[in-house]
Amino acid sequence: MTEPDDAAQAALPPAPGVDRHASLDFADTAATLPAGQSYDLLATPDSAMRWLAVHGLTAPDVRLYDICARRMRTLRGHVRALFTARVDGTAPPEASLRAVNEALTAVPTAPLLTWDRAEGLRRVQAHPTDQAVNHALATLAADAADLLTGPDADLLATCGSAPCDRFLLRTHGRRHWCSTRCGDRARAARAYARRSAPE
């Protein structure tokens, strides 16, 4: 998979539901699209940093390294596996449950106790640069857990236009596609199949 160019990104709008769940957009940072196209918005540290900054999950001046982008791609794979299991009605992979739970518990949830000469003892919510990815992944893991266990869980679906494998929330009863583009392709394929069917 490659990082998409600007034209490819512009042609593919966000899937329904990403405004409610950042984890849905996170899962869709990699996808296979019709006509053999694919993309990965977390392919490089720079692209991963841009994605985090756009979603308000870290400051734009935080520098990510390749290991950080790899950790993000790994968690994304586990989130996608959990979403797929939910959509398919199958048991989720143990490794994916474990990975999301590890992300959830990797950062302190309460302000830490710190001391310095000027202010003495105080409580602070620490977000050091080297822990920025931990905080972002914990936020995304929590959102994924909320989506999978909350009222939107039954709306979670995969795009109905193969081979597109993006996730979406079925915000309308008849919505089966992640974008108008995929919907048009699916309708065109059905029409072609009807015309080509032997009488």
Q: Which residue has the tokens 């990104």?
A: 9
Mean pLDDT of 130-145: 89
* pLDDT beyond 70 at 90: yes
- Residues 53, 38: Cα–Cα separation, whole Å: 22
Residues paired with residue 168 on neighbouring β-strands, in sequence order: 157
End-to-end CA, the chain: 41
More confident residue, 112 or 77: 77
What element of type H or E holds 112?
A: strand 112-116
Q: Which pLDDT tens digit goes with each residue over 27-38?
A: 999 988 767 788
Question: What is residue 192's predicted lDDT score, i.e. its pLDDT?
Answer: 52
| Contact criterion met (CB below 8 Å) for 176 and 186 | yes
Write the single-letter amino acid at 95.
Answer: A
Q: Express as a percent the part of the chain with pLDDT over 70.
A: 78
The answer to whether the predicted template modeling score (pTM) of the entire model surpasses 0.85 is: no
The two structure tokens encoding residue 6:
């600007």
Question: What is residue 8's predicted lDDT score, i.e. its pLDDT?
Answer: 46
